[in-house]
């Protein structure tokens, strides 16, 4: 736990970059500037006040109390605990402003779904192609249809949907309501996804139903499906033991030995590293992990390198969890040394590859590559970058103000013009959007960024850091401040300063490895 970076309220974590919920909302709503009362360089409202000073002003009575902003904050501010209320600052009970409604807005009556489900005598697949040719039945519950149609209209207006997209989603909604076995019950996600075969846009339909509270998500999680497929060929007893491990990893354990839930990515990785050993043991006749001895582990472990370290790490996690919960009685890999993963040394990219990416005809790829190549942003920072973070030729990111290089400004201008031309009605606040995210407010995915750039963000970022390290003569403090690296992370780059291949690259006849970055050392 720590204090919020903006309002100093106690009770935040690093999950949202040490910001409370109210300050996160305040940053999205207001631009960055200098507070009149405390002179802090942060997000300020129209009265030139930061959230902390404005809270003190409102608490002191505000304009009705006959006191101005400077007098209200003359003796300091009253701090608080974070995330104890969700209302915006300056809005009290009874004085909250009503949301402006569009003219001629029609409100559908509130709808409460039924709590029962009509049982089916026997399962039968629906012939959607026949319904597409001869028509689908109308919705059996008109009140539910009117309620969802009104909410769909508001959702489409809020996110800037086109008339065509709204019409297609409305048609899919009518079909889904007409095919319900239990009129008035929440729509099942699997039934909605089944409409994909007749060209219905199911993703937005799921969003509308979820926003209305009328979606029953009965889909099997992708990680569960992957786990069943990965372990299908193993013996039954071994599958049961792995199922216990899988449940503990994903859900955690409240009984000793207690553990927190692990992410799906971590669980997949450990099991993927262990699968070659598990299949080898199953092929040799072992049907349970209780039968595995240290000799069996030594037989399947690779001799050295990353393969040995990866398999060892996966098996160590597997046996440790199962032994701790008394599913097995002996950890055969406990005292065995399997080594650690080899460290990959960062190396620069080829100049031609980076130059082609920066001069790409794809506006998104050129802008993304330029930002990383000049200023070394991470993929998470690129995904979360919002339109309000860029103004006056500067990028305001994580309490840093970065003057944008001219090539970056040029490519950002081209991309923003492309964005406005293709999605003029989008309400997505992020700088980079795709055809999918233009209809909502979600950030783009990592894969979209990688595909647009033609390389990973990490590759371009490492290239930029290496260039700066050579330009500054190995100044670790400088790259820590510029790129947000830790000392350990900076040392990883310093170890390759004397690499012969890197020295050859930097001694090219052109004088610089990346001529387009020659003047960026002081801009960040």
Tell me yes or no: is domain 351-517 CATH 1.10.443.10: yes
Q: Under DSSP, is residue 328 helix (H, G, I), strand (E, B) or coil? A: coil
Each residue's pLDDT tens digit, 239-266 = 999 999 999 999 999 999 999 999 999 9
State the pairing for strand pair 390-391/215-216.
unpaired
Each residue's pLDDT tens digit, 280-319 = 999 999 999 999 999 999 999 999 899 999 999 999 999 9
Residue 341: predicted pLDDT:
82
One-letter-per-residue 3-state SS of 36-90? CCCCCEEECCCCCCCHHHHHHHHHCCHHHHCCCHHHHCCCCCCCCECCCCCCCCC
378 versus 16: the higher-pLDDT residue is: 378
Residue 522: predicted pLDDT:
36
Phi, psi of 403 (to 5 degrees): -65, 125
- Is residue 374 within 8 A of residue 520, CB to CB? The reply is yes
Quick one: tokens of 238? 């071994």
Residue 108: predicted pLDDT:
56
For helices 163-178 and 202-212, the axis angle rounded to 10 degrees is: 70
Reference 446, options 375, 374, 498, 378; nearest CA is 378
Q: Under DSSP, is residue 132 helix (H, G, I), strand (E, B) or coil? A: helix
Residue 503: predicted pLDDT:
55
Each residue's pLDDT tens digit, 333-359 = 988 899 888 777 788 888 899 999 999
Q: Is the pTM of this model over 0.75?
A: no
pLDDT band at residue 420 using 50, 70 and 90 as cut-offs: very high
pLDDT band at residue 409 using 50, 70 and 90 as cut-offs: very high
Helix (H) or strand (E) holding 43: strand 41-43
Mind giving me the DSSP string for 149-199? HHHHHHHHHHHT--HHHHHHHHHHHHHHHHT-SSTTSPEEHHHHHGGGGGT
CB atoms within 10 A of CB 3: 15
Break the chain into its structural domains and give their ranges.
2-72, 135-216, 223-324, 351-517
Rounded to an integer, what is the distance from CA 299 to the centroid of its chain?
Answer: 40
Q: Which residue, chain included where needed, has tokens 């820590």?
A: 480
Reference 217, options 209, 228, 227; nearest CA is 209
Residue 85: predicted pLDDT:
62
Residue 299: predicted pLDDT:
94
Residue 357: predicted pLDDT:
93
Residue 289: predicted pLDDT:
95
Q: Under DSSP, is residue 323 helix (H, G, I), strand (E, B) or coil? A: helix
Quick one: tokens of 226? 């992957």
Residues 6+ apart with CB under 8 A from 397: 377, 381, 385, 389
Beta bridge partners of 215: 187
Could you tell me where the DSSP H helices lie in 61-105? 69-72
Each residue's pLDDT tens digit, 117-144 = 988 888 888 888 888 888 899 998 999 9
508 versus 310: the higher-pLDDT residue is: 310
Beta bridge partners of 386: 430
One-letter-per-residue 3-state SS of 334-389? CCCCCCCCCCCCCCCCCHHHHHHHHCCCCHHHHHHHHHHHHHCCCHHHHHHCEHHH
61 versus 43: the higher-pLDDT residue is: 43
Q: Where would I find the beta strands (DSSP E) of 80-167?
A: none
Quick one: tokens of 55? 């809270």
Each residue's pLDDT tens digit, 198-250 = 888 888 999 999 999 999 999 899 999 999 999 999 999 999 999 999 999 99
The answer, yes or no, to whether the previous bond of 248 is cis (omega within 30 of 0) is: no
Q: Cα separation of 354 and 127, whole Å?
A: 52
Q: What percent of the chain has pLDDT over 90?
A: 53
The dihedral of CA 71, 77, 78, 80: what is its sign?
A: positive
pLDDT at residue 32 greater than cutoff 90: no
């Amino acid at each position: 736990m720590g204090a919020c970076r903006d309002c100093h309220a106690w009770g935040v974590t690093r999950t949202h970059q040490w910001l409370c919920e109210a300050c996160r909302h305040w940053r999205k709503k207001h631009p960055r500037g200098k507070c009149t009362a405390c002179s802090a360089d942060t997000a300020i409202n129209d009265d030139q006040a930061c959230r902390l000073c404005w809270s003190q002003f409102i608490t002191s009575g505000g304009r009705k109390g006959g006191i101005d902003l400077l007098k209200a904050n003359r003796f300091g501010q009253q701090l608080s605990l974070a995330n104890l209320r969700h209302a915006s600052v300056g809005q009290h009970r009874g004085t909250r402003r009503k949301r402006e409604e569009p003219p001629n807005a029609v409100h559908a009556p509130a709808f409460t779904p039924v709590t029962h489900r009509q049982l089916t005598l026997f399962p039968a697949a629906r012939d959607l192609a026949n319904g597409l040719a001869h028509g689908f039945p109308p919705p059996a519950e008109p009140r539910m249809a009117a309620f969802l149609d009104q909410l769909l209209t508001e959702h489409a207006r809020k996110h800037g949907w086109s008339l065509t997209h709204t019409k297609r989603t409305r048609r899919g909604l009518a079909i889904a309501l007409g095919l319900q076995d239990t009129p008035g019950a929440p729509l099942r996600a699997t039934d909605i996804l089944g409409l994909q075969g007749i060209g219905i846009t199911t993703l937005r339909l799921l969003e509308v139903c979820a926003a209305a509270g009328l979606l029953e998500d009965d889909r099997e999680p992708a990680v569960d499906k992957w786990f069943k497929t990965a372990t299908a060929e193993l013996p039954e007893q071994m599958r049961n033991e792995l199922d216990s491990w899988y449940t503990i990893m994903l859900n955690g354990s409240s009984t000793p030995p207690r553990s927190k839930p692990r992410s799906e990515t971590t669980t997949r990785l450990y099991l993927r590293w262990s699968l070659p050993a598990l299949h080898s043991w199953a092929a040799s006749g072992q049907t349970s992990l209780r039968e595995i001895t240290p000799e069996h582990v030594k037989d399947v472990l690779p001799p050295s390198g990353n393969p040995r370290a990866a398999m060892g790490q996966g098996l160590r996690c597997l046996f440790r969890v199962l032994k701790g919960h008394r599913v097995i009685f002996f950890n055969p890999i406990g005292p065995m040394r399997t080594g650690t993963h080899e460290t990959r040394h960062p190396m620069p990219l080829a100049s031609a590859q980076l130059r082609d990416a920066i001069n790409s005809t794809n506006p998104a790829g050129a802008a993304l590559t330029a930002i990383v190549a000049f200023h070394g942003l991470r993929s998470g920072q690129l995904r979360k970058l919002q339109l309000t973070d860029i103004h006056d030729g500067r990028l305001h990111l994580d309490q840093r103000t970065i003057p944008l290089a001219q090539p970056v400004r040029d490519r950002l201008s081209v991309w923003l013009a492309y964005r406005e031309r293709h999605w003029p009605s989008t309400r997505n606040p992020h700088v980079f959007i795709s055809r999918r995210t233009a209809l909502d407010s979600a950030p783009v995915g990592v894969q979209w960024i990688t595909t647009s750039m033609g390389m990973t963000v990490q590759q371009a970022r490492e290239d930029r850091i290496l260039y700066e390290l050579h330009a500054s003569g190995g100044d670790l403090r400088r790259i820590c401040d510029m790129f947000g690296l830790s000392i350990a992370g900076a040392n990883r780059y310093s170890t390759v300063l004397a690499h012969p291949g890197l020295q050859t690259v930097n001694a090219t006849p052109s004088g610089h490895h990346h001529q387009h970055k020659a003047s960026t050392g002081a801009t960040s």
